[in-house]
Structure 1
Amino acid sequence: MLQLYTILNIKFVRRYFMASPLNSNIKEKIVKNTISLLHNTSFDDITLAKIAKESNISKGTLYYYYNNKEDILFDIIDRYVSKLADDLLVWVENKEKDTSAPRLFKYVLERGAEKEYGNLRLYLIGACVSENTSLREKYVERYLYFKRNLTKKINERLPNFDGEYFAWLLLTTMDGILIQNQLNNPEFNSEEFIKKTVSFMLK
């Protein structure tokens, strides 16, 4: 009896203390590989089996962490939009950089409209508009987190300006630039547009 108790106790310790970092790593792997698949495949065409194969794990392991694709998308939204905001905070707190208002505006427009994750971002927006309410609420929640941080940084640099309005202006303009870039609109020059927009905003 004592031997059985010892074996069970060892299994308990392994599961709850040794497995925690591994669990986190597996979830990270699942999210990253789903994002990788989204670069070339519609989310509707991605199955849990494909995600498991791409992540080099069994379907049983995948189901342990995510019961459906929407839960994975939920985590992707959380990580992607949070990263935009966190990257902004890292950038503005860098004392070695020029983080004045013109540079701040330029950074936000360029960073948010870059093509690297353009397809992913457009898909997330589309999914949140057309899919279930919980996804939309999650995206808006993280978007507002980004907006609040941006408003704060604008107010620090331009105390006489309406920081919240300028934050919304930057974010909605950023979305528009992204759409034109993803369309490969031949008459749209994002670099020139951003330059003129920043100049106009600070007149």
Structure 2
Amino acid sequence: MEKKEDRKNLIIQVTIALLGEEGADNLSMRKVAKSANISLSNLQYYYNGKDALLIATVEQYFKVCQEEVTEKLPPLNKENEVSPTQFFEQLLGLLLYNGKENRQTIMFREIAALSSRNKELDAAVDKYYKEYCIWLTELVSKHTRHPEKVVSLIVPYLEGFANMGTTLPLQKNDCIAILLKCIHELEK
């Protein structure tokens, strides 16, 4: 079982690298197989086509995002109480990043572009965004009375910041401060 998971992880990592380097239009099952140093039929054993491979890559993207945030946030316990402001400041610090320098985000932008022309991939992206929002809503619910509103505010901003944060007239910390003010206003 471990070998199968290792192989699948390798295939996903190779797919991410190829999407980031060459773009979605140049991605092929043959290129992925060659880069992963496996046969095309072996790749097709794991993923029966390009759509299945891209859907698995999207799933991995959201899983990694959630794991990274969960791992880096301090655990909630009685010894480690943080105020809502501290929590959201830490959370936003983790979630706001320059997507132009992040291989995962570059890959996801390529998949998002493909999804506009592929109904199956579009449905998969929507599904994982919904699951991500549910996870994030649950995560913030311990720190706000309006978790759905907070998530509805920050998720579009996070996505936009990943795409164009380096071009904004304000620095990341200034953007976090503005979002914190908006979150604070929701609590009134």
- Same fold at TM > 0.5: yes
- Deviation digits for residues 20-55 of structure 1, max 9, x if unmatched? 332222111111111111221111112222211211
Equivalent in 150, 153, 169 of residue 166 of structure 1: 150
Offset of residue 146 of structure 1: 1.9
Alpha-carbon distance between aligned partners in 1 of 2:151 and 2:183, rounded to the nearest angstrom: 11
Alpha-carbon distance between aligned partners in 2 of 1:157 and 1:91, rounded to the nearest angstrom: 17
Identical residues among aligned pairs (%): 20
1:45 aligns with 2:26: yes
1:131 aligns with 2:113: no
1:190 aligns with 2:165: no
Alpha-carbon distance between aligned partners in 2 of 1:28 and 1:37, rounded to the nearest angstrom: 14
Offset of residue 107 of structure 1: 3.8
Q: Secondary structure at the match of 2:167?
A: coil
Higher relative contact order (CA 8 A, sep 6+): 2
1:13-28 aligned at under 5 Å gives the runs 20-28=1-9
1:199 aligns with 2:188: no
Aligned partner of 1:105 in structure 2 is 88
1:69 aligns with 2:50: yes
**Contact 1:85–1:145 (CA under 8 A) maintained in structure 2:** no
Aligned in 2, Cα 1:188/1:48: closer, same or farther, shift over 3 Å? farther
- Deviation digits for residues 121-162 of structure 1, max 9, x if unmatched? 32233222x13222222222222222122222332222xx32
1:154 aligns with 2:140: yes
Aligned partner of 2:36 in structure 1 is 55
Aligned partner of 1:145 in structure 2 is 131
Aligned in 2, Cα 1:143/1:186: closer, same or farther, shift over 3 Å? closer
Could you say what the CA RMSD is over the residues aligned between the two structures, in angstroms?
2.4
Instruction: State the number of aligned residues.
Output: 179
**Contact 1:109–1:173 (CA under 8 A) maintained in structure 2:** no
The structure number with the bigger radius of gyration is 1
Offset of residue 74 of structure 1: 0.4
Q: Secondary structure at the match of 1:67?
A: coil
Alpha-carbon distance between aligned partners in 2 of 1:188 and 1:93, rounded to the nearest angstrom: 27
Aligned in 2, Cα 1:135/1:100: closer, same or farther, shift over 3 Å? farther
Alpha-carbon distance between aligned partners in 1 of 2:151 and 2:167, rounded to the nearest angstrom: 26
Aligned in 2, Cα 1:154/1:22: closer, same or farther, shift over 3 Å? closer
Unpaired stretches in structure 1, ≥5 consecutive residues: 1-19
Alpha-carbon distance between aligned partners in 2 of 1:111 and 1:124, rounded to the nearest angstrom: 22
Aligned in 2, Cα 1:85/1:147: closer, same or farther, shift over 3 Å? same
